[in-house]
């Protein structure tokens, strides 16, 4: 089951994490045509139990909490009768001026705005799912287990209080995790946590893999990335060896 990971849907922001609305519209049209897209809540219990998810179902997720989600992504998904989970950096709910300093090569002053508390609450009240993207969008691997637990616990508490319900799912900042980070996520009360692997890693309830969608991913790339076997092939040990061999031969 591919769990798809987006960040921004905006017009004219030339950054890898930002997809043009027209491209996102094409992605959603393809998803709507298959009829296999489900909300994360429909498979959360299976993911939390470590059971294999349905093979052909797909889930949409967004990271960071950019306000263009409300302006562009939500109306497009509504037209195609799709839904998604947005993972919010909880500190931004307390600090409207929180700098977006986690995107490589981006001056925080040039970053698009994040959603406000009122916007997040409005989305939730309208039926859109909200999850935790940690407290401050740090690389959690650089923290101790107790520091991770405090960060993730505080994020969960802030968002749960804001929304009036228990926030139970987490998306790791940058998709990065380690043994102590996964333990901290469990201790902080999450039922499952989503990753974004860049190489082979063992999946589990606190290392649920996702597929990243980025600028320039057209219809053909989208079809490839949403095939049921894509993750297993893309991040298998054999595929990793092949990529290293190609890099040595080509110098890239």
Question: Which residue from 1, 24, 48 is spatially nearest to 206, judged by alpha carbons?
Answer: 48
**pLDDT for res 250:** 30
**pLDDT for res 249:** 34
**pLDDT for res 118:** 97
Q: Which residues pair with 87 in a beta bridge?
A: 63, 131
- Nearest 10 degrees: CA dihedral of 179, 185, 188, 189? -120
Q: Which domain holds residue 70?
A: 3-250
Report residue 221 as tokens: 């790339």
Judge contact between 71 and 78, C-beta under 8 A. Answer: no
**pLDDT for res 53:** 67
pLDDT tens digit sequence for 125-160 = 999 999 999 999 999 999 999 999 999 999 999 999
Number of domains present in the structure of the chain: 1
Question: Which residue from 82, 60, 77, 81 is spatially nearest to 6, judged by alpha carbons?
Answer: 60
Q: What angle do CA 133, 61, 173 make, to 5 degrees?
A: 25
Q: What does the pLDDT profile of the chain (252 residues) look like in tens digits?
A: 789 999 999 999 999 999 999 999 999 999 999 888 999 999 999 889 887 667 778 999 999 999 999 999 999 999 999 999 999 999 999 999 999 999 999 999 999 999 999 999 999 999 999 999 999 999 999 999 999 999 999 999 999 999 999 999 999 999 999 999 999 999 999 999 999 998 888 889 999 999 999 999 999 999 999 987 787 766 555 555 544 543 343 333
**pLDDT for res 179:** 98
CA dist 251 and 234 (Å) reads 20
DSSP letter string, 156-198: HHHHHHHHTS---EEE-GGG---HHHHHHHHHTT-SEEE---S
Within 8 A by CB and 6+ apart from 104, the residues are none
Q: What is the pTM of this model?
A: 0.91
- Please report how the helices 145-163 and 179-187 are oriented relative to each other, as an axis angle in degrees rounded to 10: 40
Domain harbouring 109, CATH code:
3.20.20.370
Average per-residue pLDDT for the chain: 90
Judge residue 22's burial from the number of C-beta atoms within 10 Å of its C-beta, 0-12 exposed, 13-18 middle, 19 or more buried: exposed
CA dist 212 and 197 (Å) reads 9
CA dist 232 and 97 (Å) reads 40
HSE-up of 227 (CA within 13 Å, CB side)? 11
Judge residue 114's burial from the number of C-beta atoms within 10 Å of its C-beta, 0-12 exposed, 13-18 middle, 19 or more buried: buried
Terminal Cα-to-Cα distance of the chain (whole angstroms): 31
CA dist 60 and 3 (Å) reads 6
**pLDDT for res 238:** 52
């Amino acid at each position: 089951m591919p769990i798809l990971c987006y960040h921004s849907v905006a017009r004219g922001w030339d950054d890898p994490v930002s997809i043009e609305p027209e491209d996102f519209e094409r992605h959603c049209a393809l998803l709507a045509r298959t009829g296999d897209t489900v909300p994360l809540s429909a498979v959360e219990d299976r993911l939390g139990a470590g059971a294999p998810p349905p093979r052909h179902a797909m889930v949409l997720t967004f990271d960071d909490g950019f306000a263009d989600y409300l302006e562009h992504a939500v109306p497009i998904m509504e037209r195609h009768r799709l839904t998604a989970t947005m993972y919010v950096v909880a500190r931004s709910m307390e600090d409207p001026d929180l700098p977006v300093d986690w995107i490589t090569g981006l001056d925080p002053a040039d970053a698009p705005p994040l959603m406000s508390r009122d916007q997040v609450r409005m989305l939730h009240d309208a039926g859109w799912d909200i999850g935790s993207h940690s407290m401050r969008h740090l690389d959690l691997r650089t923290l101790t287990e107790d520091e991770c637990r405090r960060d993730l616990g505080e994020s969960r508490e802030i968002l749960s209080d804001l929304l009036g319900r228990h926030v139970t799912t987490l998306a790791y900042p940058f998709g990065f995790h380690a043994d102590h980070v996964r333990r901290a996520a469990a201790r902080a009360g999450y039922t499952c946590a989503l990753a974004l692997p860049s190489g082979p890693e063992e999946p589990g309830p606190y290392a649920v893999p996702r597929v990243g969608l980025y600028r320039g991913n057209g219809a053909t790339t989208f079809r490839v990335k949403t095939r049921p076997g894509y993750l297993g092939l893309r991040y298998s040990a054999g595929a990793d060896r092949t990529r290293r061999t190609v890099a040595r031969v080509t110098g890239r």
